[in-house]
Amino acid sequence: MSFCGFIAIVGRPNVGKSTLLNNLIGEKISITANKPQTTRHTIIGVKTIADRQAVFIDTPGMHLRQKKAINREMNKAARSALEDVNSVIFMVEALEWTAEDELVLGCVQNLNCPVFLLVNKVDKVKNKEQLLPYLSMVAQKMQFAEIIPCIAIHGTQVQIIEQKVFAVLPECPFFFENDAVTDKPLKFRLAEIIREKLTRVLSAELPYALSVEIEKITEAETQLVINAIIWVERQSQKAIVIGKRGAQLKEIGRQARLEMNHMLKTSVHLELWVKVRENWSDNIRALHELGY
């Protein structure tokens, strides 16, 4: 007898969904950055313990501003992840309840499955006496299966969350092999590593105009050669990514290469090219060609 099911992790942007997924799985599956909308795709993380397999779905943050096609596609992906799941982890930030949290609530409150409310970043609450009234307030929003305060970045209470969702898995054959951790192919994971470094290194606005495509992976004698394209929307953005005398691009490449070395346990030679594709983030065809 085996138990297996899907658990969607949902919430507004930048509440810690990807950090939680990585802690649940025990390795980096989803990229993280201290900027909203870092996650653009639904990312699956798989955890198997004995006769139980949980398939976690990290989703893009649901947001109200949908200026471009990419914003609409991200919201659509997040909503689609809620179809036919066995439970939901709805993440919010301690002492915060925004219009976007209300948007997410509207998507989960009529689901026929347990919804666990995860109150993240409780370490940032200096006056802990404020936490109890907040927890009482959110408890009135809907009938949650449980409300769990946590600190996802430190893994605090993550084991409790895992136990709760594992307990409600239905009897079902495994969807993945026992040693699987994600369904994403290598090219996707490598492109996401580069995009994470771009997001962390560059200015606040520019990362939203960037996408990464792995063009080719070649096995050389002593190393793996990875050729990647960084797509931007304007010529001026290309200059920013490259930086003075190529310094910015070199630093992004250095950080990405070090993480790839660690992930692949081999030496990586990374070639980065910056190219312009005008208005790609508001073009459905371009989005689909880039994997959205």
Query: Residue 124 has which token pair?
Result: 């940032």
| Residue 232 in domain | yes
Question: Which residue from 65, 61, 66, 31 is spatially nearest to 45, judged by alpha carbons?
Answer: 31
- Same structural domain for residues 13 and 158? yes
> What confidence score (pLDDT) does residue 221 get?
83
pLDDT of 156 > 70? The answer is yes
Q: Give the distance, in angstroms, between the CA of residue 235 and the centroid of all CA atoms in the same chain.
A: 28
**CB of 93 within 8 A of CB of 121?**
yes
> What confidence score (pLDDT) does residue 79 get?
85
| Residue 18 in domain | yes
User: What digits encode the pLDDT tens for the residues 196-248?
Assistant: 999 888 876 676 788 999 999 999 888 999 999 999 999 999 999 999 999 99
- Same structural domain for residues 202 and 63? no
CATH number at residue 18: 3.40.50.300
Q: Which domain holds residue 93?
A: 3-167
| Residue 172 in domain | no
User: What digits encode the pLDDT tens for the residues 245-281?
Assistant: 999 999 999 999 999 999 999 999 999 999 999 988 8
Q: Compute φ and ψ for 67, nearest 5 degrees.
A: -65, -35
| Residue 175 in domain | no
CATH number at residue 251: 3.30.300.20
Residue with tokens 């689909």: 288
| Residue 78 in domain | yes
User: What digits encode the pLDDT tens for the residues 18-62?
Assistant: 999 999 999 998 888 777 667 777 899 999 999 999 999 998 878
Percent of the chain with pLDDT over 70: 98
Q: Compute φ and ψ for 96, nearest 5 degrees.
A: -110, 135
Predicted confidence band at 192 (pLDDT cuts at 50, 70, 90)?
A: very high
Q: Compute φ and ψ for 5, nearest 5 degrees.
A: -170, 170
- Same structural domain for residues 258 and 141? no
- Same structural domain for residues 14 and 157? yes
Look at residues 135, 167, 199 and tell me which one is the last residue of a structural domain: 167
- Same structural domain for residues 125 and 52? yes
Give the Cβ contact number of residue 110 at 10 Å. Answer: 7
pTM of the model: 0.88
DSSP-assigned letters across all residues of 224-260:
EEEEEEEEESSHHHHHHHH-GGGHHHHHHHHHHHHHH
> What confidence score (pLDDT) does residue 219 get?
92
> What confidence score (pLDDT) does residue 32 get?
83
- Same structural domain for residues 66 and 136? yes
- Same structural domain for residues 148 and 8? yes
| Residue 181 in domain | no
- Same structural domain for residues 151 and 254? no
| Residue 173 in domain | no
The span from the CA of 155 to the CA of 256, in Å, is 24
Query: Residue 289 has which token pair?
Result: 């060609």
Count of domains for the chain: 2
Query: Residue 167 has which token pair?
Result: 């307990």
- Same structural domain for residues 147 and 196? no
Look at residues 167, 201, 217 and tell me which one is the last residue of a structural domain: 167
> What confidence score (pLDDT) does residue 273 get?
97
The span from the CA of 130 to the CA of 273, in Å, is 50
| Ramachandran area for residue 14 (φ above 0: left; ψ -120 to 50: alpha; else beta) | left
- Same structural domain for residues 232 and 162? no
Predicted confidence band at 77 (pLDDT cuts at 50, 70, 90)?
A: confident
pLDDT of 15 > 80? The answer is yes
Look at residues 167, 200, 228 and tell me which one is the last residue of a structural domain: 167
**CB of 241 within 8 A of CB of 249?**
yes
**CB of 270 within 8 A of CB of 218?**
no
Question: Which residue from 91, 84, 291, 54 is spatially nearest to 181, judged by alpha carbons?
Answer: 54
User: What digits encode the pLDDT tens for the residues 78-121?
Assistant: 888 899 899 999 999 999 999 999 999 999 999 999 999 999 99
Q: Compute φ and ψ for 196, nearest 5 degrees.
A: -60, -45
| Residue 68 in domain | yes
- Same structural domain for residues 130 and 197? no
- Same structural domain for residues 148 and 207? no
Percent of the chain with pLDDT over 90: 72
